[in-house]
Amino acid sequence: MSSSTADIVRRLGENAEAVCRRYLGNGRREGHYWMVGNIHNERGRSLYVRLPSHHDGALSAGKWTDAESGDHGDLLDIIAANCGHASFRETLQEARRFLSLPMEPPAARNPAPRKHPAGTPQAARRLWAGSKPVAGSLGQAYFLGRRILNAASADALRFHPNCYYRASEDDAADCRPAWPAIIAAVTDDAGMITGVHRTWLDPTGGKAPVAFPRRAMGNLLGHGVRFGRAGPMMVFGEGLETLLSVREFLPAMPMIAGLSAAHLAAIAFPDGLRRLYVARDNDDAGRLAFETIADRASSADIELLPLDSELGDFNADLTTFGHDRVRSAIKAQLCRADRLEQF
């Protein structure tokens, strides 16, 4: 019996380092990541592939992100790019050869393979224009459930009651084509919308029961979800809920959410920025993003300071420990001048 695509992806993830040594031989291992220039195996450190670790096994192993281009995917994408395949079937056959699995029998060609065009900034702006305020919506109820009380006041957030969701092969066959969704505007330094981030919701509460309840579309590299006008002192963070949790206690401080560790590391520094706090996630990707920002900040004469959570991120802290404890933790990590101004 031939292996399913999901099973092949899982097996590749379990052997992620061997896959990288075979198809990304110009890279090298650094901690729990394989670092290389890009998906085409050029030298450098822009693309990083998650390797298995004793913390999470192969749960996320094989997932990769290119910090320069903003692209991401799995090991099948890497095999396809390395081998120059013209079809997904060729890539699966190569993966089976690598894993020593039985070959798939020949099948009739599909004369019209389904293709999904990538989201564009224009499509992102249309979705934003068709969305509604968060206040009084299911989106506000979701944030309140995450103990985020002030989300409805954020201009960068809207709500769409019936947002299209493109099902993947990891979703159930009867997956609904649309769900309510929180829409976050991704903008450049001038305030132009270049993309959006969507968080699909279950009408009964929590995130929608889909394989990928969060997705971004549009031009994301160097941009982010912005709260407040840029100034000499700012906070950068990775996840939207992480930054909104910090904003509960620093509502007057300008902030930008990068939406992923790779995009966090690539956010363009606004003019006039002099001191930057980074609310980094407590994992290898978050630490790597902080190191990348530190290199850039040093050359730009920007003072860089971390904001560290106790658990995986500040929203995990907020939902676990409550407002008082998180407020005290953030206050203790600010420099004295900012502490006096913000609290």
pLDDT in tens, the chain (343 residues): 345 788 888 899 999 999 999 999 999 998 889 999 988 888 888 889 999 876 554 457 889 888 877 778 889 989 988 887 767 888 888 999 998 887 766 555 554 444 434 468 888 999 999 999 999 999 999 999 999 999 999 999 999 999 999 888 888 988 988 999 999 999 998 889 999 999 999 999 899 999 999 999 888 888 999 999 999 999 999 999 999 999 999 999 999 999 888 888 888 899 999 999 999 988 888 888 899 999 999 989 999 999 999 999 999 999 999 999 999 999 999 999 888 888 8
pLDDT at 253: 94
Q: What token pair was written down for 18?
A: 């061997």
Q: How far apart are CA 12 and CA 20, in angstroms?
A: 10
Angle at 61 between CA 278 and CA 7, to 5 degrees: 145
Q: At what angle do helices 16-23 and 75-83 cross, to 10 degrees?
A: 20
HSE toward the beta carbon, residue 273, CA cutoff 13 A: 26
- The Cα–Cα gap between 257 and 239 comes to 6
| DSSP string across 272-311 | T--EEEEEE-SSHHHHHHHHHHHHHHHHTT-EEEEEE-SS
Tokens 């971004």 belong to which residue? 216
Residue count of the chain, please give it: 343
d(CA 293, CA 299): 10
What 3-state DSSP class applies to 205?
Answer: coil
pLDDT of 245: 96
Give the whole-angstrom CA distance, residue 329 versus residue 189: 30
Residue in this structure with the two tokens 């290898």, named with its chain if needed: 284
Please classify residue 329 by burial: count the beta carbons closer than 10 Å to its beta carbon, then call 0-12 exposed, 13-18 middle and 19+ buried. Answer: middle
Contacts 24+ apart (CB under 8 A), 17-24: 17/51, 17/52, 19/62, 19/75, 19/78, 19/79, 19/98, 20/49, 20/51, 20/78, 22/98, 23/78, 23/79, 23/82, 23/83, 24/49, 24/78, 24/82
